[in-house]
Chain A
Amino acid sequence: MSDIAQTSPATDERVKDISPLRKALIRPELGGIVGTIAVFTFFLLFAFDSGMFNAQGVINWSVVSAQFVIIAVGACLLMIAGEFDLSVGSMIGFAGMLIAIFGVTLGWPIWLAIIITFVICVAIGGLSGWIVIRTGLPSFIVTLAFLFILRGFTIFLPQIIERKTIIGGIKDAAEGDWLASAFGGKVFGGLFQWMGDAGLIATFTRGTRAGQPVVDGVPMLIIWALVLMALAHILLTKTKFGNWIFASGGDAEAARNSGVPVNKVKILMFMLTAFCATVFAVCQVMEFGSAGADRGLLKEFEAIIAVVIGGALLTGGYGSVIGAALGALIFGVVQQGLFFAGVESSLFRVFLGVILLGAVILNTYIRRIITGER
């Protein structure tokens, strides 16, 4: 950055200096960082002894947070590109059901079921994006339609095929499958065994698993969340395509005038959102061993709230993947923390509403600073 300082001209008396503090405040992640610190402070003070911060507790809220991160990453890039996807929750249910139908009912190998499911779901994401672009309708309406269409099929298909709304038996079908373990497996088992042996984390003292650590590895779900987050962050901030995402959401017409392929960018982001929803679904199905017609309800709103807490603007063109991930972390920690602290879980929804409102107000203020309105 030193060369920039050299090329800088003499200061203009009309350009007011801004304080480093104010400059630090003008970043999308601000709300997420403040919220994360607040939430951890709160639970460290009030729920430290509840087991929330031992190995088991940490894995518990990490898994829940990672689930939110996976869908928030897709929703974040799509929102920055200027669109919404309300069908994320239904897509999760639909994808899980497809895997169960292919893998259990039809008896295909699970790896094949997973791949075909990814292809179908990403194609549906692309289709809804294509409809949004071609018709010029708000993505809100188009994806609302897909919310109902996909949920309808998710309930209808298992009923007509298996005469029930939950298809089980996936654990058995996925036994030893190479691709299934990439979603449902655990890694770093040896490290946790070592930590258990060294007395760093608790071990089972009785039963068939005596001597084994209570946490036997990091679930692949968490790895997926971290990898998706890192890739999306690099894509958004460090590549040409990332610039196109910002441009498409900031002002589609101006971006087109500058030669940015706005339609392609937006459709690809719809496909990415569908991809993330499918990753979520596969991990969930592998964990539960079954697919249910009611899986993923309301997830679209939770993803959008996490993204907004993370500093993205609902109108597009501004936001951060790291912020969205912090928003997801806040979510997971609060949802599980209230449980550890013994607070009535319905209060979680009250918290959601309050924090959403606070985040949107903060974001509006930050945007005014950026665009120089005050």
Chain B
Amino acid sequence: MLLGSIAIVGQATQRIGFMIGFAPLGPLSLPVLLFTLIAHDLWSRRRIHPATLWGIAVLMVSLVLTPVVARSPIGSAVMERLYATGR
């Protein structure tokens, strides 16, 4: 639940970044929150919780794959299709 929430809080930190004139806050907030979670795990249980490791792995894979898919021909096709749906 916490990792899913960290995944979706980026829209909020991005807006705060624009509000205070520090646009990198959005992308920087994800690693900062994940390191905070790791530190919390280590402090409270002396090891990183498996759910934390799993969530970090999923987030890292999505960060690598998202720009690749976005720039691909499949990404263009998806965008056109969804644009027609959203109108």
A and B form one complex: no
| B interface with A by C-beta (< 8 Å) | none
| A interface with B by C-beta (< 8 Å) | none
